[in-house]
Amino acid sequence: MTAFDRPTAWLTDWLPEIIGWRQDFHRHPELLFDLPRTAGRVAQLLRSFGCDSVVEGIGRSGVVGVIQGARQASGQSSGQSPGRVIGLRADMDALPIMERTGREYTSTVPGKMHACGHDGHMSMLLAAAKYLAATRDFDGTVVVIFQPAEEGGGGGREMVQDGLMDRFAIQEVYGMHNMPGLPVGQFCIRPGAMMAAADQFEITVTGKGGHAARPQDGVDTMLVAAHIVVAAQSIISRNTDPMAQAVLSICTMSGDSTAHNVIPQVVKMRGTVRSLDPAVQDRVERRLNDLVTGTAQAFGATGMLDYRRGYPVTVNALAQTGYAADVARRVAAGPVDAETVPQMWAEDFSFMLNARPGAYIFTGNGDSAALHHPEYDFNDAALPFGAAWYIGMAEARLAP
């Protein structure tokens, strides 16, 4: 039995228990940093597995478990140092969505659901932690990281700023996410930019409101806003290198009047910019500001842009991407795409990758609803593959 056959056998025996964890998390979703039940359950399980230490409250509500290899646990390593240290990360928070899956384990909290599979990510990493704590067949230390507030709260940034990397001496860090549409048991990854930076903006157009029957007496803010919506797309099509990926979307527009016959005094628009290159990110922000102010001025209105940088680009280190792909090939039930196309989603694991070299990989969720959809559900058949990949990363990167 090889090092990669053994986890498969163990995980097969444990699968009903792992599915039980996943479906329990699914029934009880919590949002952002407010994760008392979720984080508490994670910490309880890690302690029951025999982790050498379990620390709660990192990055406000994150949980970290430390598992030492056989030599470190017995004090045989020189100076009882942790030796080589890798971090393995999963996210914990759910989304403010009303579930429509109809599952028997559907969310018990109205308006909240695990619509992105974080319930599955936690369960896969917990299974890996249980295995690694039982076998300790590696030379070094594994740090399992359970992160809050991936869904817009920047929990990855909070954990890094709270000393995660230095406190636990992490040298490399790895993360994983499920991907609907990719067959269960398959993986995809790429070196370099894996996912986009995500910025948010609000545009305020101020004109002169009035009666819709006499537009000549005012400055029509809806007309100005419409020109901005159309013209903003030229930033991507005409100000951005065609070989550089970027997307600008204006997603909401609202005036300060809801009457059918009133031209509003003020119109606000909100949207997002996603890019894979910091230079493109800078250019889009600059051009959007110029376009908003210039277009509004041309119509006799004023335009203001409030632009907020969000999660940075998720960048996979070259060597660590190779390690992650090699392990995926050993545990996969199908081909591994090691040169997949970048995704324009954003992921705050990027803050951890900015702090330490590492890689982020996708694993298949099969033919499911899309992420963030009210009918999405994590595929329990994917649990053994994700857990085996986490285990494989620990044993490969910390091989004696």
Which residue intervals of the chain bear CATH 3.30.70.360? 197-311
Write down the CATH number for the domain with range 197-311.
3.30.70.360
pLDDT for res 377: 98
Alpha carbon distance 93, 158 (integer Å): 14
pLDDT at position 86 over 60: yes
118-131: per-residue pLDDT in tens?
Answer: 999 999 999 999 99
**DSSP sequence for 97-155:** -------TT--SSTT-B--SSHHHHHHHHHHHHHHHHHH--SSSEEEEEEES-TTTT-H
Would strands 85-91 and 172-179 be described as parallel, antiparallel, or unpaired?
parallel
Q: Is the pLDDT of residue 263 over 60?
A: yes
Residues of the chain with CATH 3.40.630.10: 5-195+313-397
- On the question of pLDDT at 72 being above 80, the answer is no
Q: pLDDT tens across 20-41, in order?
A: 999 999 999 999 999 999 999 9
Q: What is the DSSP code string of 1-49?
A: --TTHHHHHHHHHHHHHHHHHHHHHHHS--BTT--HHHHHHHHHHHHHH
**pTM beyond 0.75:** yes
CA 309 and chain centroid, separation: 16
Helices 383-397, 318-331: axis angle to 10 degrees equals 130
Please tell me the distance from the alpha carbon of residue 43 to that of residue 230, in angstroms, as a whole number: 50
Give, as one character, the DSSP assignment of residue 369: P
Q: Is the pLDDT of residue 70 over 90?
A: no
Q: What is the pLDDT of residue 8?
A: 75
pLDDT tens for 139-158 read 999 999 999 999 999 999 99
What is the C-alpha radius of gyration for the chain, rounded to an integer number of angstroms?
A: 24
Catalytically active residues are 93, 150
Q: Does CATH place domain 5-195+313-397 in 3.30.470.10? A: no
Q: Has residue 3 got a pLDDT over 70? A: no
Give the pLDDT confidence score for residue 75 in this predicted structure.
67
> Across residues 364-388, what is the average pLDDT?
97
Cα–Cα distance measured from residue 80 to residue 381, given in angstroms and rounded to the nearest whole number: 40
For residue 80, the model assigns a pLDDT of: 55
Dihedral angle computed from the Cα positions of residues 218, 221, 226 and 230, in that order, rounded to the nearest 10 degrees = 110
* pLDDT the model gives residue 5: 62
Q: 357-380 burial, b for 16+ CB within 10 Å, e for fewer? A: bbbbbbbbbbebeebeeeebbbbb
- Cα–Cα distance, 37 to 39 (Å, whole number): 6
CB 196 within 8 A of CB 344: yes
CA atoms lying within 13 Å on the CB side of residue 31: 10
